[in-house]
Amino acid sequence: MARIALTLAYDGSVFQGWQTQPSGRGVQDHLERALSAIAGAPVATICAGRTDAGVHALRQVVHFDTAARRPSSAWVRGVNAHLPAQVAVRRAVEVDPDFHARYGAVQRRYRYLIHRSPVRHPLLAGRAGWVFRDIDAARLRDAALCLVGEHDFSSFRSSECQAVSPVRRIDRIAVVEQGAFVLLTVVGNAFLHHMIRNIVGTLLMVADGRRDVDWVQQVLDARDNRGVTPPFSPN
């Protein structure tokens, strides 16, 4: 058996998230069907981290095991020929048997592009999160500081989260402004279900002046997701 690692990119707006779905509309469903067609046998995949419906991926890492011996071009161009236009294998490489896309991941990165405008822009739909209020990037940075480090993120997890432990480590939160856009990047060892979407929704309430900067620390310390703001849009 060979273990193959793939790097994927996909437009999440047309899928029901990464994970396989009864409807067959998860990214995993499409990928496994395409891989099976090339392998000539059923293929099961494991990814570095699940994504919600509507969330895009630039470098999603996936691995699978197969007895089929194929050139790397078959796992890229061949598989892509069986995939929808909105998802593509960008790279394929044979890895050591102990490689694991999920448990071996050292860091994960989640990026939010936020569009500040009184009126939504139709060409940015599904590409940027829209806010009609003015966003102060300096307040956004200040509010995010308390979230860096290892914490119990119970306040920011979904009620449907199945993770055994709510403790996660955020290594960095970066905020970059460019005209009407704000790029928010969160880097950490792993994320809980809806954790980043809830964090962004909370930080934006500070950035637009609806809450004080120290409110984020209070939310974190509460370890109770009943008081968290609604999750921000997936993109």
pLDDT for 138-172, tens place per residue? 999 999 999 999 999 999 998 888 889 999 999 99
Each domain of the chain, given as residue ranges in start order, spans 2-95, 108-227
Is the CATH number of domain 2-95 3.40.50.150? no
Q: If pLDDT is split at 50, 70 and 90, which confidence band does 231 have?
A: confident
pLDDT at 225: 83
Active-site position among 11, 29, 52, 212: 52
Nearest to 148 by CA among 175, 174, 176, 170: 170
Domain 108-227 sits in CATH at 3.30.70.660
Residue 25 exposed, middle or buried by CB count within 10 Å (0-12, 13-18, 19+): middle
Which DSSP category does 209 fall into?
Answer: T
CA distances from 147 to 81, 129, 133 (A): 42, 21, 23
Count Cβ atoms below 10 Å from residue 73 Cβ, excluding itself: 10
What's the chain's length in residues?
Answer: 235
Once rounded to an integer, what is the mean pLDDT over residues 205-217? Answer: 94
pLDDT of residue 215: 94
Q: What is the largest CA-CA distance in the chain?
A: 58
Q: pTM for this structure?
A: 0.89
Copy the structure tokens of residue 229: 């703001």
Average pLDDT, the chain: 94
Instruction: State the Cα angle at 61 between 27 and 173, rounded to 5°.
Output: 105
Angle between helices 137-144 and 195-207 (to 10 degrees): 130
Nearest to residue 96, comparing CAs of 74, 63, 60?
A: 63
Tens digit of each residue's pLDDT (9 = 90 or more) over 91-144: 999 999 999 999 999 999 999 999 999 999 999 998 999 999 999 999 999 999
Residue 22 pLDDT greater than 90, yes or no: yes
Q: Encode pLDDT of 27-60 as tens digits.
A: 999 999 999 999 999 999 999 999 988 999 999 9
52 is catalytic: yes
- Residue 233: per-residue pLDDT: 80
| Residues 189, 192, 198, 202, CA torsion sign | negative
**pLDDT over 80 (residue 234):** no
**Confidence tier at 80 by pLDDT (50, 70, 90):** very high
Q: Dihedrals φ, ψ of 10, to 5°?
A: -155, 155
pLDDT at 232 over 90: no
Side-by-side strand order, sheet with 149-152: 129-131, 108-116, 181-188, 167-178, 149-152
